[in-house]
Structure formats: C-alpha cells, structure tokens
Amino acid sequence: MKKVLFVIVCILVVLAPTAALIGYYCYNSTVDDQNIVKNELVSARLENEDGSIEEYVSGQPKMQAFVALLGDEEHAPKLLTALPKEALSGVKYKVTYTDNFDVRTEIRYYISSDRNKCYFVNNEDQPYKINADCALNFLNSEYGERVYESALPPTVKLGGVELPARNLDWNYKTVDGELKKASCSFANHDASASVESFDAALPIETDHTPDEIRLVIKNSETGVRLFSGSRQALIKTVFEGSVSVNVQMTLIWRENEARAYAGSAEYLFSGRLLGTPAFSFSAENVHCGEIVILSAYNISDPSAISVECTPEFDCDPKFYKVGESYQALIAIPAELTDTLTSYTFTLSSSTAKDKLTLNVAPLQRSSYDFYAPDAQDYYNESVLNALWASIRPILEAPSEQSFAGGKFQIPAQDNYISDTSNYRFGATVNIINIKKSYLAWDNMYCAQMKKVNDVCVEGDVTKVLSAYAGKVVYVGAQTFTGRLVIIDHGSGLKTWYTNLSSDIAVHLGDEVSSGQFIAHAADGGFNAQLNFNFHVGAFVNGVPVSLQQLIEHGLIAHQ
C-alpha cells in the first residue's frame, strides 16, 4: 500500500508543473482578455492611425483610458460574430500590452464619436462591441480628441496661399456637448505669410466659415494704418489705387448649439491690396463681327466677375491676365442686330458694380452668288455636322496664354487676288443650283492656278502665311474645308486656314511667327467646286469675327 502511495506521490510531483501550466492556460481561457490586460499590465505600445508611436508604463493615465475601454465585470464588452463595416470608418488604434509574464497581447480599437459604435478586436481576432458607458468616458476624456473631426485646427487660405496662425484658441464639442480646448491651440507663434494680391472682399477659403473677421491694415512701406475694422466695412471702403500692406486678421467662431467647435485665430500676412475694381471697353462703338476688349482692373479673382446685358446678349467673357489687369475679348456676332442698338453691360465683382454702354451697328451686308456642280456632296447637314464636331471644341478651348495685341497681316503672298474681288466676312453666300445660302465666316482669297495638261493641280504658286504669331492647335482635313490648320493667338483668339496643299510646313504644337509660311494654296474641299482659292477666318471663343478688322485696325491689349 505504501509502495502504491509512493508511486502516486511521485507521479503527482512529476506532473505538477504540467498541471499548473494547464490550469493557468484554462484559467486564462475562461477569463476575458480585458481582465488579463488590466490585472497583469506592466507596459503598452500605442500605434496611432497616422503611424505615430507612443510608449506607456502601468499607471499612466492614457494607458488606463485605453484599458478602461475593455470594460470589467459590470461593463463587459459584447462578443460579436463579425466586426461590422461601420467600425472601419472609426479612428483606429493598435495597442500592444505586455503583462508581468512578458506575454504580449495586441488589441485593435475602432472608435467613433458615437458611443454605441465603438469596437475592439483582440489578439485572437475576436471582435467586441465596447460598452457604451466605457466608450462615453473615453470620448469625454482628453484622450478622445483624435476621434472628433471638429478638434482639427481650421485651415485658411488666401489667393491659394495657406495662412499659418500666429495665435489659435480652438475648442471642440464632445458627445455630451462640453467644449474642450483642443491640443492644437497655441499662442505667439512667429508665423506669417506673403500673398501676391487681394481685394477688399478678402476672399479667404476655409473649412470653417467664421462669424466675424477683424482687420488691421498698414502700409508696409510707411507703417501708416490704412484701415481697422470688419471685413464688411473694408468692402465699403474706397481705395484709389493698389498699395503694399501688412495685415493682421482675426477670425472668430462663436459657440452655438448647432456647431461642434468654437474659437479664434490670428493671422499675419503681407501682400498688395487692390484698389476699388473698375471696368472698361476698348471702344464704345463697334460693328457686328468685330471684337471689343473688356478690361477689369483691381481684380484678384476674375471668376468672381458676373456680366449681365440688356438687351440680352449671350456673353460669357473669359478673362486672361494682362499686366496688372484682366482682359477678355468679346466677339460681336455677325447676326447680332440689324439696326444700331445700345447694349448696357452691368459688371459686378465681390466689391463693386459698374455699368458700361456698347453701341453696336449692323454688319454691312453683301451677297455672292455662284453655281457649284456636286455642291450637295460638300455642303449638306452631315458634312457640316462632322466639321463642327471636330473643330468647335478646338475653337472654343481656352488659350494657354493671353493675347499680346497688335495688327494682323494679310495671310497670303505671291500671285493672289485680294478678298475684295470675291467676298469678305459676313457676306451672304448663295448656292444657286441647290437653293441654299449661308453667312460667310471667313475671307476668300483667290490663288494663282497651276495647270498640268490644262488641269488645275496643287502647286507652289500662292503662299498661305500665318496672319499673326501663335501656336498651332490643329492640323488635319475636313470634307468642307479641305486641308486645314488652326493657330491659337491667345485669349481665345484663333485663325483657321483652309484649302491648303499637301506641303503643310507646320505641325501640331508648333510656335509660329507672324507671316510664317504655312503651306501653298490648293484646290480642295468645297472650293474644288468653284475656282482656285483658299480661305482664312478668325474666331474668338468659337464665335466668327472679321479678319479684315484685325488686318486694318488690329487690337491693343492694354498693359
């Protein structure tokens, strides 16, 4: 009997360590993970969503705040079968805890500003829903700040330049409605910015619209104070000209029930304060088919300019920077009016309104009749639709540069007849045999014919030249026009050259000078049905205008 007991004791002694380990494992398996971490904790490594790392040891407040999310017997988390998709939109933290047995446990937290939508996943990939009271305590603590988007500092830009704050007092609202000072708050930073120019409307861009903007503006050269007050008062202030200034700007966001933030920020920046906006036309009296330049002075953002016209005139100016002003070429359509008409333009910016009058006289009409065999093959709805589908987007596309201004030259050299012997822009062209008419949107130039065995062929007789310097934006061919080149001269002003020979000497993207050789004239397109000629037309933002006016008078873009 004693021998049996001795054997049993020996077996127990041998198996005791194994039994203890098994018991420890079983105990740990039956106790919630949060209790293990909470009771055996010695340190933690916190990895934030932005990749930053924080190290803590037992007893430090932030560690205790995260451990508290795991709950206890009274506030136990709820085990889930799967992590809901809504969890992934929360702020993510990864905490690796180390206990006093040097065992590491990784917990992944998914925290939202909704106390009922906070989760964690343990190191065995088991998802839990955090107890709402535990989540609320965390969200109301200083450690829950990262969860609130409203705790992020406001961004403020002027003229595309981000303004750094010199002083920032920023507060965010917790789920309980309590305002807490955000960690981004600071005072007396040595921060300033430089902005090229701005107008009195002070068009700042910010993700949080302020309730009030206060300004102190001083002449940067003399130090004299030019203005002190609100932005509303600044808008009403008249400045005769532009001036370099230093600005102290304070933005205020007041507390209210509907808003999740409140605070104030102070910014220092320098730049050129533009004077009161003004507008002008390059001419008050024009004809249909001509171009007038609309100039806008003391404007920082031309997209803020609105234009209304009475009587109605479909005008959408596209402004380009010219010197210190913005200018737009306004095309007066050939068919705009049949009688002398006065148009009143009301131009508004963010800080001013102006009225301009433009007197428009009708185009001098002329008519050109001709008989064209097989005209229907070259002039029909299908051919014209195909032409404009290809060409209109190019003619209407914005230019990369502004128009420099000046006179255009006659776009032809050697052995040609001036367009006066045929038709100019705006003539009514009558195709007698198919009883159709159209308004000419370009000028016809008759070229010298080259004959081989009494047949007209392509030749090196009449040269077609660029009417002005610019960039080639199209080289191709169309049924109606034959071979075609389009040159962009800036500010939406383009010219096209049609019925060219196959020896086109320019390529897409080429920069050309005024008078540069493009090609020789040919007999192609619709003109093959008429006589040996070529056409050159001008367009502003896709609207046909008179090339002859540009040749005779030119345009002056004011610097």
Domains of the chain with bracketed CATH: 29-147 (2.60.40), 151-273 (no CATH), 278-361 (2.60.40.10), 368-552 (2.70.70.10)
d(CA 495, CA 549): 13
| DSSP string across 469-507 | -EEEEEEEEETTTEEEEEEEEETTEEEEEEEE-S-----
Task: Give the three-class secondary structure for 329.
Answer: strand
**% pLDDT > 90, the chain:** 63
Please compute the mean of the pLDDT values over residues 76-100 and round it to a whole number: 95
Q: Looking at residue 21, what is its pLDDT?
A: 44
Q: Looking at residue 405, what is its pLDDT?
A: 85
Torsion from C-alpha of 221, 225, 227, 228, nearest 10 degrees: 130
pLDDT at 215 over 80: yes
Token representation of residue 97? 């805890």
Comparing 523 with 83, the larger pLDDT belongs to 83
d(CA 232, CA 445): 59
Q: Looking at residue 26, what is its pLDDT?
A: 41
Task: Give the three-class secondary structure for 228.
Answer: strand
Report DSSP state, residue 406: B
Runs of H (alpha helix) within 198-262: 231-235
Please compute the mean of the pLDDT values over residues 497-509 and round it to a whole number: 94
Token representation of residue 362? 């009708």
d(CA 118, CA 321): 53
pLDDT at 11 over 70: no
Runs of H (alpha helix) within 333-491: 375-378, 381-396
Chain position carrying tokens 């300033």: 192
Helix (H) or strand (E) holding 47: strand 41-48
Q: Looking at residue 20, what is its pLDDT?
A: 46
Q: Please report which confidence band the pLDDT of residue 316 belongs to, taking 50, 70 and 90 as the band edges.
A: confident
Q: Looking at residue 2, what is its pLDDT?
A: 52
| Beta-bridge partner residues of 243 | 273
Mean pLDDT score of the chain: 88
Burial 24-40 (b: 16+ CB within 10 A, else e): eeeeeeeebbbebbbeb
Q: Please report which confidence band the pLDDT of residue 527 belongs to, taking 50, 70 and 90 as the band edges.
A: low
Give how far Cα 139 sits from Cα of 65, 94, 243, Å: 10, 17, 49
Chain position carrying tokens 């609320």: 136
Query: Which are the contacts of 317, defined by CB distance < 8 A and separation ≥ 6?
Result: 294, 305, 307, 328, 330
d(CA 533, CA 281): 37
Token representation of residue 463? 């040269």
| 546 contacts 423 by C-beta, under 8 angstroms | no
Phi, psi (deg, nearest 5) at residue 554: 70, -175
d(CA 450, CA 102): 98
How many Cβ atoms from other residues are within 10 Å of residue 71's Cβ? 22
Q: Looking at residue 32, what is its pLDDT?
A: 44
d(CA 422, CA 490): 29
How many Cβ atoms from other residues are within 10 Å of residue 334's Cβ? 23
| Beta-bridge partner residues of 326 | 296, 321
Q: For the segment 441-453, what is each residue's pLDDT rounded down to a tens digit?
A: 888 888 877 766 6
Q: For the segment 230-250, what is each residue's pLDDT rounded down to a tens digit?
A: 999 998 888 878 899 999 999
Q: Looking at residue 232, what is its pLDDT?
A: 92
d(CA 19, CA 16): 5
d(CA 125, CA 262): 40
Task: Give the three-class secondary structure for 428.
Answer: strand
Query: Which are the contacts of 520, defined by CB distance < 8 A and separation ≥ 6?
Result: 458, 459, 460, 461, 462, 463, 464, 500, 501, 503
Torsion from C-alpha of 216, 221, 223, 226, nearest 10 degrees: -40
Q: For the segment 159-205, what is each residue's pLDDT rounded down to a tens digit?
A: 899 999 999 999 999 998 999 999 999 999 999 999 998 888 888 99
| 192 contacts 266 by C-beta, under 8 angstroms | no
Token representation of residue 327? 């200018």
| 119 contacts 86 by C-beta, under 8 angstroms | no
Which amino acid, residue 61? P
Nearest C-alpha neighbor of 541 from the set 399, 345, 353: 399
H helix count then E strand count, the chain: 8, 41
Q: Looking at residue 446, what is its pLDDT?
A: 81
Burial 384-398 (b: 16+ CB within 10 A, else e): eeebeeebeebbeee
d(CA 364, CA 366): 7
d(CA 260, CA 148): 9
Token representation of residue 256? 């209210």
Give how far Cα 56 sits from Cα of 60, 98, 144, 336, 538, Å: 7, 10, 17, 78, 74
d(CA 296, CA 324): 9
Question: What is the pairing mode between strands 463-465 and 412-413?
Answer: antiparallel
Q: For the segment 25-71, what is each residue's pLDDT rounded down to a tens digit?
A: 443 433 344 454 545 789 999 999 889 999 999 989 999 999 999 99
Q: For the segment 252-305, what is each residue's pLDDT rounded down to a tens digit?
A: 999 998 899 999 999 999 999 998 888 999 999 999 999 999 999 888 888 889
Report DSSP state, residue 179: E
Please compute the mean of the pLDDT values over residues 462-479 and round it to a whole number: 95
